[in-house]
Structure 1
Amino acid sequence: MKSRTENIDEINSWHSHFREYIETYKQGNTSFQDLIKDDAYFRKKLTQFLFSPKGAIYQANFWFAEKLVCGKPAPDILLQAIPFSHLRFERSSEWIPAMEEVEEIVESIPFSNYSFPIALTYINWKTDAIVGTELLRNVGIALICIFLTTLISLGSWRGSLLVMMCVLLTCIDVTGFMHWWGLTIDITSMNVIIISVGLCVDFCAHIVHGFLTGQGTREERVLYVMEKVAPAVMNGGFSTILALSLLVTSRSHIFISFFKIFLLICLFGLFHGLVTLPVVLACIGATEENSENKEEKGNDQTADVDEGFRHGSEMNKNVRKDAADDVEIVPEEIVLLSTTGAAEVENPPNCENTSNNNQELEKLSLKNLECSNESAAEKSTKNFTLNKILRHSRNKSVMLKKCPEQNTSNQNLESAGNV
């Protein structure tokens, strides 16, 4: 095995010494391979070898089914070990290929039973070998979760993609800058990076949310976000850096890695959230037409009310004023008299005049009473006209006209206007 790899420093195998022992004390010209095929001969000589001066050091490399006794044939062998040592390595890019090469060599040797290389350092080396794959997989799963979560909370697939893009760029920048700060991708840095993914969302999700809820063009909404939302995001980032500053004096590798990675996350997260993201939103953000479409869907539920208000504005243009009597005659049989004028209005046919003060008029307007023979648009129009007139006639007495063809018990007052 040593001849097949340059990563092995020394192999201390008992096989070569056992072969020398047999060749030295054998009788006759029989070859070593033929001698050890005899099971009784092999067990006898193995016991003698393990109790000899040269072979005694190898007793610890055997695990027998029973205790090994001097002068008796060796019991069944359950486990044997062949010690070897690697060269001294300095980085994971050296010891990971060395470990994988040893595994390939052991697997290719036709041992009679199952064989595998094992070492205490292989635990860390094996972790370093799979940590890169695990980091990519876990960050990918985290990005998918971020996209789904922001899609539900923001309600915009484009905004969710932008948030996921900023998080991905932040993680790439952090992992790249770790090399220049003396950090490697190990189990500690991998865990800190995965935890930091959630922190990256805060730097960009609020910006996208403020942009989507704003009004105006893309540029106007970006300015709104930078004025209203960006200061809070910046304060949050610098407060996090301030909280982590206490770890800078630590000598522990875990705490130092935690501080460096979180500092990079905050700096690059703020950069992408406050610089890169606003530029991207100003270029390819949701347009104002998309916002108007959402508003139109919401306005479909109140179409009848909007139609009534439109009719009301048209009817207000047709209002005629009587300058001599200070009387404003409103269409749809709405009549009000000013206390400053001396005019009198005769009762129209089948109608009865009633005097009320302003307080009663306001109470009647809140009831939104309607005549049964009118359409929904006409009813909304009269209510709109009444509310508009009441705002300008707080100190005037009014005269209302009741709707004809209604029973006294079920009579409803129409809306009124001011003079």
Structure 2
Amino acid sequence: MKGLVLAGTRSGVGKTVATLATLTALDEAGYDPQPAKAGPDFIDPSHHEALTDRPSRTLDPWLEGEEGMRRTYWRGEGDVCVVEGVMGLYDGSKASTASVAEGLDLPVVLVVDAKAGMESVAATALGFAQYAERTGADIEVAGVLAQRAHGGRHADGIRDALPEELTYFGRIPPIPDLEIPDRHLGLHMGSETDLDRDALSTAAETIRVERLVEAAREPAAPPATDSTDATAPTAPGDRRVAVARDSAFCFAYPSVLDRLRAGATVETFSPVAGDPAPDADAVYLPGGYPELHAESLSRGGTLDGIARLAADGVPVYGECGGLMALSESLTTTDGDTYEMAGILPADVEMCERYQALDHVELAARTNAVTAAAGETLRGHEFHYSSASVAGDAAFAFDVVRGDGIDGERDGLTEYRTVGTYCHCHAESGAFDSLLTGSSE
């Protein structure tokens, strides 16, 4: 599968809209597009999936390692993979769009906001290409996709100003219906805000699809799957894993779900709808927006059922929003406090500003649901809540990188339950014990 990276000059330049328009253009030209996202993100990929009805693959050398990143890429399907970048091309302390493009040897198409520029668009693109040469990065900036560019003289001026080595891949016209509303943590999810398909088709008409396909390259295949592949398909056993999947628990990497389905029977349930806690061998509560559904979660009864499972020794693993739901209480920004599952000795409160945003590395203090003593896990954290924990609280992890729950520790644990602010990727091995019961 050939691929390319749509990289921004900065955050907020319109990469998500450009990616959705490019996916639409490929589809309408008869190609089968596969979406992907550079760096840790759940929101932008939700828009990719809503459009293509195909999981968007997360590509991050910190979360997955370079071989794991290549495995994740090749789990995609289709003719052309379109990778949406993160922030600006070179931005990122541990995993930048540039590192993803270099690790996979994919060409970069630079998304430049052309709303108030013409020749300056070409100068910006040339500067980004020359910066790669200056730093010694093995990155090819193949050309430009002009965001918010009008046609006629505006588009012609941008194209004509580009040097010969940079291709003009077209433009995204300024269309009001292509604005995605946002809130804390970022844009609204794709399931909540379905962009106007006619507007995307209009934007797709001014993208030079064949030039993009010609520029795309096929990265090297990953090493043959072996026992070191944390997400290698295995024969599903008798184990049953329950996964919360609704608008409160919607942040789960496709590779995590692939891994769980490869080794167990996965049963999804909705705590927001008040579904009974499934009779399962393990429970996974991903991150999401429990703060937007706190009243339903408090009254629905599902969390009470999970608390009973936890007390009976069933492994329960909660990430970020899952941690919040497993705690004693959750206080929203309106000042309303709701009882949660009450498994973990913490009270969680939503804040006006984000409390952590970084790649994370955790070292296991003792044997726990997600790692054996001494093992490390990698993931990322991004949350607007803070947790006040009891003085005698037990933690599963020391924080090597990141903030965790209290700056030094993460992974509140009780019974065989762990709640952490860290979102882990399957390539870290964090989910294997849910399949094998090795923490028992």
Tell me if both proteins adopt one fold, taking TM over 0.5 as the criterion. no
Q: TM-score, normalised by structure 1?
A: 0.22
TM-score (norm 2): 0.21
- Highest relative contact order (Cα 8 Å, sep 6+), 1 or 2? 2
Q: Which has the higher helix share?
A: 1
Is the radius of gyration larger for structure 1 or structure 2?
1
